[in-house]
Amino acid sequence: MLKKKLILILLALCIVVSSNSAYARSHVEERVIGAEAENRLVQMKIREVRSQQTDLLRQQNELRRNLMETQRLIEAMRKRPESITEEQVRIIRELVSLMQDSRHLLERSNAELQRQLAAINRLHRSTQGSNTIEQLDQLLATQNRTIQAITRVRTDINSVKAIIN
């Protein structure tokens, strides 16, 4: 009788231990699967940030070329003052003022982008995934604002070119 009770107790313990280990294993697997999904999301966002950063750099270089060309046109126009009217001078001054405001916005955006990139690099190295995702989302939003500012400056430059030509 004692043997039967002992065997039943051992059997019950085996069942409890195996069910607990199965639960623990499944719980660990859920965490691993969740971490893998989060890592994939972080990697996807990082690729998006890099792609947008490449586009941003391309647009900034294009903007620099346009600005240099516009400055050459303005210098050429200064050498022949009879070819420009007072109205054109007034409009150009307004547009130059707008471009300066936009340039200051771009400088602030670039500084913010650099700060956010440094913060993301620190977070990514410390493997705090959810914070990294939030930081990447903020960086993408800042990149979008910078691209919009570049677009406004490009529009202003094109307006100046249209007046000069």
Give the CATH number, domain containing residue 110.
1.20.58
Domain-located, residue 82: yes
Domain-located, residue 77: yes
The predicted pLDDT at position 52 comes to 87
Split at pLDDT 50, 70, 90, the class of 150 is: confident
Domain-located, residue 117: yes
- What's the pTM value of the predicted model, to 2 decimals? 0.62
Locate 139 and state its tokens.
């960086």
In angstroms, the CA 62 to CA 147 distance is 12
Domain-located, residue 16: no
Phi-psi region of 128 (alpha: psi -120 to 50; beta: other; left: phi over 0): beta
Q: Which residue has the higher pLDDT, 81 or 154?
A: 154
Environment class of 20 (CB within 10 Å of its CB; exposed 0-12, middle 13-18, buried 19+):
exposed
Q: Which residue has the higher pLDDT, 14 or 43?
A: 43
Split at pLDDT 50, 70, 90, the class of 151 is: confident
The predicted pLDDT at position 4 comes to 62
Average pLDDT, the chain: 74
pLDDT digit string (tens) for 25-82? 555 555 556 677 778 888 888 888 888 888 888 888 888 888 888 878 877 777 777 7
Q: How distant, in Å, are the alpha carbons of 30, 56, 97, 134 from that of 128?
A: 18, 27, 43, 10
Per the structure, the count of domains in the chain is 1
Locate 67 and state its tokens.
């600005």
Domain-located, residue 102: yes
Is residue 146 within 8 A of residue 56, CB to CB? The reply is yes
Residue 103 has pLDDT above 80, yes or no: no
Domain-located, residue 52: yes
For the ranges 32-41, 113-122, 140-149, the maximum mean pLDDT occurs at: 140-149
Is residue 164 within 8 A of residue 74, CB to CB? The reply is yes
Domain-located, residue 5: no
Domain-located, residue 114: yes
Split at pLDDT 50, 70, 90, the class of 20 is: low
DSSP 80: S
**For residue 77, what are the domain limits?**
43-164
Residue 89 has pLDDT above 70, yes or no: yes
